[in-house]
Amino acid sequence: MNNSIIKIALVGAGGWGRQHARILAGRPDVEFCGIAGRTPEKTRVRAEMYGVPYYTDIQTLLEKTRPDLVSLCLPSKGHFDATLEIIRAGYPLLVEKPLVFSLDEADVLLREAAQRDLFFAINFNHRYARPVQMAQQAIQDGRLGQVVHALWRFGGEGGSCFDHDNLIETQCHGFDMLEFLCGPVDSVAAQMTDMTGKGYSTLSVALHFATGGVGAMIGSYDASYAYPDTHLLEINGTSGRIVVDDTVRRYSYQAVGNETAEVWQAGYFNDEDREFHKTFDKYFDVMLDAFRKGNPPPVPAQAGRRALALAQACIQSFETGVRVEHIAYG
């Protein structure tokens, strides 16, 4: 498959699904072969934008198009049935976060995909923002030393959180990012509030890393994406500090005792690195290259299960009022 055009079908015609469609339609190495959605009119309009056939049934999409890979982007609580249907049909797939809301459902999906030896990737695209990639490189180069403490803050507008939606569907990026850069989290202690009347829409979590450092996470659906510094990632080590502002806007590194920081910000013409949506393009490059070469996904679906396990540990901590420890991988 190394030099061939890869046929990819899309399931989902919603807001972020448009980013999937944009990428699929714009790549010369991809044949965007069809789209399936729940709403006929909405799906038709999206399909016509990109000149592809549309369907309102996943099985029909698969039978008519016979894709090499399926990309899924559905509402967060509609992931399980559609994902399982595609896995049982034997198709490799890329799914959106969160994987699902239930660990039992996550385990079913992972087990069924493993039984079929399927390529099963999840879209944690925040990892591929240039500031985050620079942070990873600095850590790998030993410039940070040992991680002592880390902070993740991310908040904007959001709706119902009666199923811990903010924690599971949005702060999954925080769990994934902190472990990606700082190593495994082995215990959590959580506080949450429902003061705005829409469920536990704002939360704070204290974390402990297996390497000895500690961390803090604040996540909210009671803020605004219009605010400056909507997102902040700060990692302090024994040798220096890294700060990432708004995921794609700014990266800085400062060595201990040095009053001068090294700073990256996108230049005037560098729209590629300053645009958040393009983090998905960068991830898609790496993901599709792995698929083409027959390698495992760069971000496997297991990462979605791991983020969910940490979220469930936070829920347990809040409900019991105690720290949850020994959060095992699985």
Same structural domain for residues 133 and 249?
A: yes
Other C-beta atoms lying within 10 Å of the C-beta of residue 114: 13
Same structural domain for residues 78 and 95?
A: yes
For residues 20 and 71, the answer to whether their CB atoms sit within 8 Å is yes
Same structural domain for residues 320 and 183?
A: yes
Same structural domain for residues 94 and 222?
A: no
CA atoms within 13 A on the CB side of 169: 23
Per-residue pLDDT, 4: 87
Q: Does any domain span residue 194?
A: yes
Q: Work out the end-to-end distance of the chain between its first and last CA atoms, rounded to an integer number of angstroms.
A: 31
Is pLDDT above 90 for 91? Answer: yes
> Which pTM does this prediction carry?
0.96
Per-residue pLDDT, 3: 64
CATH of the domain at 287: 3.40.50.720
The CA distances from residue 62 to 25, 35, 71, 107, 283, in Å, are 18, 10, 12, 24, 24
Per-residue pLDDT, 171: 98
Question: Domain limits at 241?
Answer: 126-270+308-325
Q: Span 191-195, mean pLDDT?
A: 98
- Please, which residues bridge with residue 193 across strands? 202
Per-residue pLDDT, 217: 98
CATH of the domain at 162: 3.30.360.10
| Domains contained in the chain, number | 2
Q: Does any domain span residue 58?
A: yes
